Amino acid sequence: MHTEKDAENIKTENVEAKTKATLTNIEYEILFKEKSQFDLLNFCADVAKNMGLADEEIPSVVKALTNENRPSVIYLHNAECTGCSEALLRSSSPYIDQIIFDAISLDYHETLMAASGDGAESLLEKAVNNPNGFICLVEGSIPVDFHGTIGGHTMYENCARILPKANIVIAVGTCSAYGGIQTARPNPTGSKGISECFSNLKAPVINLAGCPPNPLNLMGVIVALLQNKDIELDTKGRPKMFYGKTVHMLCERLPHFKAKRFALSFDSEEARLGYCLHKLGCKGPKTFNNCPSALFNSVNWPVKAGHPCVGCSEPDFWDTFTPFYGKN
């Protein structure tokens, strides 16, 4: 397994060895290609690991991500906080620039795109009518009653026009999957998740639940799609490879739970010692997600930071899992 540090070292060695000599343009090109190949191998290994694939399968992941024509991706925003996009920006295996410049072609994303003017709208149209099709990522719920608008169209109209044309629709985050915070009691805007709104899509929506979802899981889904693999979904539309177990089952504090070592308050010695947070309200046992093994930002997750899981990958967690604190 390559680490970031190895990659850095190899890059430094390459640079040091080769800058001394005067390189021809072709040699530079080979150097950059090598480096980009190395980066690619590196991140494919991480993606494969998170997907639970054996090392022998890494080459097929690489192959899926090195198509001459990168698959077109359209990213739509509805009623949301942009947190899911931000999570994608924080991806480190692969880095966001590797995703959007090497693996996929991000043809529409309002937070990132330079595009403007009618030209941009025609870019969207071009992507929607791409003969090779496109993958549609959707962030945010659809406010059916209050009709938030973009470019003069309601969010519902936009989705109704674009989603049925997509080869596959991925709901990025709990809002687009199930409605999320907008649908929390009393659901003032009449918001819904995608599946609830549309039944005429080419394939069942893949729900990457989570607030935000882990970008590593998103990458895994994209790779599996590019490999033409079947993605097995659970009853809530979530890929089983990432949402097959509860947070509790994967939790590093599970031994404390089994030994009945609980923290009863946040300012206690037990909390300091990293005991189980079940009695402080942890929703890990009811929540299907891989946070403890995938980690956020490659480094941490809520229970490791001493805070109970709030169950953000479960539908309606804002209502059914609150109050978040106190006895379960």
Partner 1 sequence: MTKKTPTSDYTGCIVIDPLTRIEGHLRLEIHVENGYVTEARSCGTLFRGIENILIGRNPEDVQHFTQRTCGVCTYTHALCTTRALEDTMKTVIPPNATYIRNIVLGIQYMHDHLVHFYHLHGLDFIDVSSVIDADIQKTLKLANELSTQPYTEIDFRETKYKIQKLIDSDQLGPFAGAYSTGGHPAYYLSAEANLLLTTHYLKALRLQVKTARAMAIFGAKNPHTQFLIAGGVTCYEALREENLDEFYKLYKETFDFIENILVPDITLIANEYRDWSAFGGSQNFLTFGEFPDTEKVRDLDARWLKPGLILNRDLSIIHPFEPKKIAEHIGHSWYKGEPIQHPINGTTIPEFTKMGDLDRYSWMKSPRYDGLAVETGPLAQMLVSYAQGHPEVTTNLNDLLKKLNMSVDDLFSTIGRTISRVVQCYTVAQQVDVWFQALKNNLASGDLQICKKVDIPDYATGIGYLNAPRGGLSHWMKIEHGVVSNFQLVVPSTWNFGPIDNFGQKGPVENALIGTPVYDPKRPIEILRTVHAFDPCIACSVHVIDSLTNESSTHKIL
Q: Which residues pair with 296 in a beta bridge?
A: 300
Rounded least distance, CB 283 to partner 1, Å = 12
Nearest to 286 by CA among 316, 255, 306: 316
Structure token digits, residue 174: 């709990």
To 10 degrees, the CA torsion angle through 103, 177, 88, 234? -60
The two beta strands, 142-143 and 168-172, are unpaired
Nearest to 196 by CA among 241, 147, 236: 236
Rounded least distance, CB 236 to partner 1, Å = 20
Rounded least distance, CB 312 to partner 1, Å = 8
> Count of H helices and E strands in the chain?
16, 9
Rounded least distance, CB 260 to partner 1, Å = 20
Reply yes or no: is the peptide bond before residue 204 cis, omega within 30 of 0.
no
Q: Name the residue nearer to partner 1 (CB basis): 81 or 233.
A: 81
Under a CB-based contact definition with an 8 Å cutoff, are residues 288 and 238 in contact? yes
Rounded least distance, CB 227 to partner 1, Å = 20
Q: Which residues pair with 79 in a beta bridge?
A: 141
